[in-house]
Structure 1
């Protein structure tokens, strides 16, 4: 017999932004655009927006995925209770590399062993937010 049920899933969303960098002169000219036509500034801005440059890929980051969400080894993640976790690749008893996590104090001191599976942390305390600063 067929069944259907609702599930709740948490996903980390990666967004791409176009960042426009202007010199002070270009910014001054752009401010004046509303009142007059600053053709040179408009052309340079249009040209820059027509060909945005892709960001350099992070070569040092090692990414792993869990339930469609990408995580980074060595990065710090905060759970919904404010606790911090970091994850590393640990060789399990069957010889496979498995992401394992440990609790980390807010001061960056490791407070535990690598005894948390990513699934346990996400299921029990997720969603996780990457700590960037």
Structure 2
């Protein structure tokens, strides 16, 4: 895949961190790009990345797509990268299937996601959004066992992850991105 300066990409080698292409391609095979991290402890760091660890999502969750033969699906997960980029799609019967992005065409975009909300100390948080803390780290939240818990800089969220209240207390204020 070829990228251009200004493209926002996801890096599979950095837990899905977002970066922006600053220069490239270059190198003997023309597959290296200079990218700048957009989030995390190393936000602003510029380094070389191989094209094979970079991706730009073609589709997002909820998009309607058509496969070969015109069968329509909804995107439920992805993108994932092994040798190629692929998504998990759901047909109208509720069956899930893996599909390569080169075999799908966009039918309609999903509305911009708005997640569930949670109120804490009089502030309403959109749990579908990402938030930047006082140190510049980026957090996302999920409700686990009735409690919003957070993951920082692309890390997975577990039942023992920090609660939204703990994150707000220790790293707030949280600014919605």
For the criterion TM > 0.5, the same-fold answer is no
**TM-score normalised by the chain length of structure 1:** 0.44
TM-score normalised by length of structure 2: 0.34
Query: Whose strand proportion is higher, 1 or 2?
Result: 2
Point out the structure with the larger helix share.
1
Larger Rg: 1
